[in-house]
Amino acid sequence: MGPLDGATVIPLLLAALPLSTEPVAPSQSTPLQENFGMAATVRQFDPLARAQQLVQDLPRSWSGSYTPFGPGEAANVRLTLSSLKALGQMVDVRGEITLGSTTIPVQGNLNAASDQLDLLLLGDYPGSDLQSGGYFNGLQGFTLVGWSAPRLTNPGGQLVMTPDTTAAPAIRGFW
């Protein structure tokens, strides 16, 4: 015998509600009430368009300093971006970084939606501070970047950069 054998089935009648055949547009709906009774605003943000804008407006020259968290010496840094290309909401970044007197090619990605930067060194740095296999990771674009070392014996470091104002600004036509 099954569990429903001998059970009483009660039919349930649903009340017939008239249904509207007209579609309801989202603009006709009631606004969402948030922020202590104030209507919530919708943030209009297009990361694809921002990636295109970053390719045009991002400074090509940055300078600053790298300071290791462990033993090691601070170094002056100069980053020169030679190529920027928008790939969806990502910006492909290529160029070279000069740490002290050593110049190393770099390649990375800048997320236009979150300003997260991942920057890889494509060469070896002669000092023990920046080991092969590590990368620079920033959550504020190029301004504040941390070095993530490939080994736990290296505590990493901090790269602080600002746009280089000594470089000549790009001249754009009015048309």
Any domain includes 37 = no
Better pLDDT: 121 or 1: 121
Which is higher by pLDDT, 41 or 110?
110
**Confidence grade of residue 129 (pLDDT, cut at 50, 70, 90):** confident
Give CA–CA dist 55/60, Å, rounded: 10
Any domain includes 131 = yes
Evaluate whether residue 73 is within a structural domain.
Answer: yes
Residue 125 has pLDDT above 60, yes or no: yes
Sign of torsion, CA 166 81 72 70? positive
124, 139 contact by CB (below 8 A): no
- Average pLDDT along the chain: 79
More reliable by pLDDT, 126 or 143: 143
Residue 104 has pLDDT above 70, yes or no: yes
Of 29-38, 104-113, 129-138, the range with the highest mean pLDDT is: 104-113
**Is the distance from CB of 140 to CB of 115 less than 8 angstroms?**
yes
Domain extent for 152: 47-163
Residue 156: give its domain's CATH number: 2.40.128.620
